[in-house]
Chain A
Amino acid sequence: MQRNRELVNFLPVVILMIVGFASVYMARSSQIDASSLSYGLLFVGLFLLVHLFLRIATPDADPFLLPLAALMSAIGIMLIYRIDPDLAAAQATWLMAGLGLLIAVIAFLRNYRKLDDYIYLCGIVGVLLLVVAIVAGQEINGARLWLKIGGFSIQPGEFSKVLITIFLAGYLNSKRELLATSTWHLLGVPMPALKHLGPLVTMWGMSFALLLLMNDLGTSLLFFGIFLAMTYVATNRLAYPIIGGILFSGGALLAYHIKGTVHTRVDIWINPWPDAMDKGYQLVQSLFAIGDGGLFGTGLGKGYLLFQNGDPIIPALHTDFIFSAIAEELGLAGATALIVIFMIFCYRVFKIAAESDDGFSKLLAAGLGAGFALQTFVIIGGVMKLIPLTGITLPFVSYGGSSMVANFGGLALLLLISNRTNKARRS
């Protein structure tokens, strides 16, 4: 039943994919050859294969998640194809790797709640990945997020995000009674005993360390945001997000004054125009691209995204700034539709969290949902100059192996959680 609905949900994705690839091809036929159109077919084939697998492995899983993820990846790969067909080939490989991980997780972690026993391992690996990024990472745009191994660039933060969410789900689930007990009040807000504020302070310290060592406000905000959201879900105490928010603001303010890179980012956010040829170039060009999109966009393949020699005008166009490309070519109508797709995805994830009946699953789903929403907000808000810019991928859309693989890993967990809940309901 659920899988039949899933199959129907795939229909619009396939249609969109065909129309999208065809229009990119028509607009840019002088620059790209017809054989590259096969990425579109490959894409459709891959998702149908995963669908068949889910029919056997998780028949009761949520029927919207996979089609929505396919839709987001489709929009991403279409735009990447439009920017550089070679990159689309690579992205198709990453997509395969991601779907491979999704199948592996579902096949071998059918009883995902076993993860609860390994949360400390997840947590340690998650933190280690971040440490590796900080110690051995390459500095790109002032932030240390990338690790180069051989010919590959890896973003350990993407994996770390999922692993730490798993850790927090288990940890908070076991400690939530303690954390939720209030012993005193601060300005009318019930507060937990000071000694139980330990994890909050630790997590804050970690985020702050991330900010100082990685030079990256966005990653720091993402990790701390996930933590606060999950703590709030675990305890139903507003005190945590409130205290956390104040702590984070204090840390960010301090970082602004002591770290040059953070200072620069914020200054560019406030006013990029005097530096439009230099430090503000990327953001200013992004704003110009978005502005050019207008209501309905220039049309796929018709925007002004590349220089004559094929280099993108906006650096990191296919990764961090892919939303600017979407906003230019698909306009307010198309880009809003994409944001609505993100919102529907969030809705499904939070619904899975709300419907599941055990604390670990609830927290895991809620954490993944919060992370997804926050990451989307941070990067889209960044390229539109709503908030200071941070180099971070747009989930399922941006080019990148780490991001693709990690997000499909998280998706696998969500499918498992919903499968378990729906199965219990059905019987």
Chain B
Amino acid sequence: MNKPIKRLFIVSVLMFASLIAMLGYRQVIEAQDLADNPQNTRKVFAQMRIERGLILGSDKSELAKNRKEDDLYYRVYPKGDLVPHLVGYSDPTYGQVGLEHSQNSYLTGTADEVELVNLFDTLTGKQKRGADLKLTINLQVQRTAQEELQKIGKRGAVVVIDVKTGAVTAMVSNPTYDPNQLGANWQQLNSDPDSPLFNRATQGLYTPGSVFKMITASAALESGAFTPQSRFRDDRGTVDIGGFTVHNYRAEPFGEHSLAEAFSQSINTTFAQVGDQLGKDKLIEYMQKYGFYEKPPFDLPSDEIAASGRYENGELLSPGDSMDRAQVASMAFGQEQLQVTPLEMALVAESIANGGKMMKPYSVDSVSDYNGTVVKQAKPEVWKTPIRPDMANELKDMMVKVVNEGTGGKAKTGKVQIAAKTGTAEVTGRGPNAWFVGFAPAESPRYAIAVVVEDSDAGGGIAGPVMRETLLAALGL
């Protein structure tokens, strides 16, 4: 009977070995992921004895402060549901998200830059306190954008970016939630089909529809094969490419027209032909130049930001994946599995407004310790250079035409010249996404904006007033 006993022992050694292997995996390889998991409240708990730094708006009004109970500090959000998706929350039960999560080391004073200060202060007997964050968010603009979206009563998002610096001036996701009421509403917030906790501005993936034509047009102009004056003819309102029939909106024929007119009237048949002529590689190249297929470098935790690009079953496809002619043609006017975030589209508009330079977006303007010493100051940086300045100018003119003569009339105002591109992206199963992407003032742009409204039954125009009012608020007009 000793042979089976020996084998039994070998089996138990294997079992113990698998335990040790798993333990090593959990404690070494996976440890960081476990620690970073937003549901992991252990760190939050441990750090509740630290007075967290404040989070302030651009006007220094408080977005997050503390309430002391016994020895512990609890977070309070004085502005309630105004900026929850960006600011996030820090809660011993529900964990940390948003800037509260990604900037935790500053807020708790445990980041290297802040630690020294605190070490010195500990020696001199001062109490430990985290560093304050001053954000780039302008609460006026934020409130206007939120109210305009709420007026429509649909899910959606708005992102406003300072053209010259990349500073995020407003970031709205609708519906919103009140981070002070997590305990009371947790179940409902998580089961709500409108998912109010979800940050649509950076994570929401939307079919871009015609706003993608900004990218197709960039590729077309820079290829040298087209100019804004290039002539096209459309007699039928449809065109066949690679065995696939492309329709204009309501199959309307536009007759003879230029590329600029095709852009301002959003003529799908023309853009399908342009895309077909440019080919897949050219289009993908420009998508990548504009930052598609990667997550924009932004202050939020990386799992709260999505990359734009072609998706299949919720997975980002590789830029190298093959496509047939029909797919390329329909990608050229923003369909064909394309999924983009409002942040990405705001960045596209921003780079066109900024002479072809895409700035790295940021929302934390400065970090200062409680003595008021600035320990970190955001510096504007160029992230991408998707197009040449002259091409950016031609595109800008085309976008002005969209507002003045084309589909973007809903954004027109006498106070300032707005440049924009509209989109009404078809989504299977529900109403289309209404897009307005653009910037103002057209002559010397200051703010770029992307607005998306989901399930729009009133067509693409519904997003126009949101853009107009938000830009006016940003410009102080």
A290: interface (CB < 8 Å) = yes
A181: interface (CB < 8 Å) = no
- Partner of B9 from the list A304, A336, A347 (CB cut-off 8 Å) is A347
Contact A232 B34 (CB under 8 A): no
- Partner of A293 from the list B12, B13, B27, B37 (CB cut-off 8 Å) is B27
Question: Which residues of A sit under 8 angstroms from B1, Cβ to Cβ?
Answer: 233-234, 236, 359, 362-363, 366
- In chain A between 312 and 366, which residues have their CB closer than 8 angstroms to a CB of chain B? 313, 327, 331-332, 335-336, 339-340, 342-343, 346-347, 350, 353-354, 359, 362-363, 366
Contact digits for B34-61, partner A, Cβ 8 Å, 1 yes 0 no: 1101011010011000000000000000
A295: interface (CB < 8 Å) = yes
Contact digits for A284-301, partner B, Cβ 8 Å, 1 yes 0 no: 100111111111000000
Question: Which residues of B sit under 8 angstroms from A233, Cβ to Cβ?
Answer: 1, 4-5, 8
B16: interface (CB < 8 Å) = yes
For the complex, give the distance between the alpha carbons of A232 and B9 in Å: 12
For the complex, give the distance between the alpha carbons of A308 and B18 in Å: 35
Smallest distance from the beta carbon of B239 to chain A beta carbons, Å?
46
Question: Which residues of A sit under 8 angstroms from B40, Cβ to Cβ?
Answer: 288
B72: interface (CB < 8 Å) = yes
For the complex, give the distance between the alpha carbons of A362 and B33 in Å: 47
A276: interface (CB < 8 Å) = yes
A277: interface (CB < 8 Å) = yes
Shortest Cβ distance from A173 into B: residue: B1
A59: interface (CB < 8 Å) = no
B24: interface (CB < 8 Å) = yes
- In chain B between 358 and 390, which residues have their CB closer than 8 angstroms to a CB of chain A? none
Size of A's binding interface in residues, CB under 8 A:
51
For the complex, give the distance between the alpha carbons of A293 and B25 in Å: 12
Smallest distance from the beta carbon of B390 to chain A beta carbons, Å?
50
- Partner of B13 from the list A343, A374, A376 (CB cut-off 8 Å) is A343
Shortest Cβ distance from B41 into A: residue: A288
A380: interface (CB < 8 Å) = yes
Smallest distance from the beta carbon of A190 to chain B beta carbons, Å?
15
Contact B12 A370 (CB under 8 A): yes
Size of B's binding interface in residues, CB under 8 A:
37
B475: interface (CB < 8 Å) = no
Asked, given contacts A380-B19, A381-B19, whether A369 binds B8 with beta carbons under 8 Å apart, the answer is yes
Question: Which residues of B sit under 8 angstroms from A339, Cβ to Cβ?
Answer: 16, 19-20, 23
A229: interface (CB < 8 Å) = yes
B225: interface (CB < 8 Å) = no
- In chain B between 414 and 459, which residues have their CB closer than 8 angstroms to a CB of chain A? none
- Partner of A290 from the list B13, B23, B46 (CB cut-off 8 Å) is B23
Asked, given contacts A292-B35, A370-B12, whether A308 binds B23 with beta carbons under 8 Å apart, the answer is no
Asked, given contacts A291-B30, A354-B2, whether A232 binds B8 with beta carbons under 8 Å apart, the answer is yes
- Partner of B72 from the list A232, A308, A347, A353 (CB cut-off 8 Å) is A308
Shortest Cβ distance from B15 into A: residue: A377
Question: Which residues of A sit under 8 angstroms from B3, Cβ to Cβ?
Answer: 236
Smallest distance from the beta carbon of A49 to chain B beta carbons, Å?
31
B123: interface (CB < 8 Å) = no
Shortest Cβ distance from A232 into B: residue: B4
Shortest Cβ distance from B31 into A: residue: A291
A53: interface (CB < 8 Å) = no
Question: Which residues of B sit under 8 angstroms from A294, Cβ to Cβ?
Answer: 27-28, 31
For the complex, give the distance between the alpha carbons of A346 and B14 in Å: 12
Contact A366 B23 (CB under 8 A): no
- In chain A between 200 and 250, which residues have their CB closer than 8 angstroms to a CB of chain B? 229, 232-234, 236
Smallest distance from the beta carbon of B2 to chain A beta carbons, Å?
5
Contact B13 A327 (CB under 8 A): no
For the complex, give the distance between the alpha carbons of A137 and B408 in Å: 71
A386: interface (CB < 8 Å) = yes
A-B contact pairs, 29 of them (CB 8 A): A236-B3, A287-B26, A293-B27, A295-B28, A308-B72, A332-B28, A336-B24, A339-B19, A339-B20, A343-B12, A343-B13, A346-B9, A346-B12, A350-B8, A350-B9, A350-B12, A354-B2, A354-B5, A354-B6, A366-B1, A369-B9, A373-B15, A374-B12, A377-B16, A381-B18, A384-B19, A384-B26, A385-B26, A386-B18
| Given contact pairs A347-B9, A377-B12, a sample of 19 additional A-B residue pairs in the complex whose CB atoms are under 8 Å apart | A232-B8, A233-B4, A276-B39, A290-B27, A291-B30, A294-B28, A295-B27, A304-B46, A308-B70, A336-B20, A339-B19, A339-B23, A340-B16, A342-B16, A354-B6, A362-B5, A363-B1, A373-B15, A374-B12
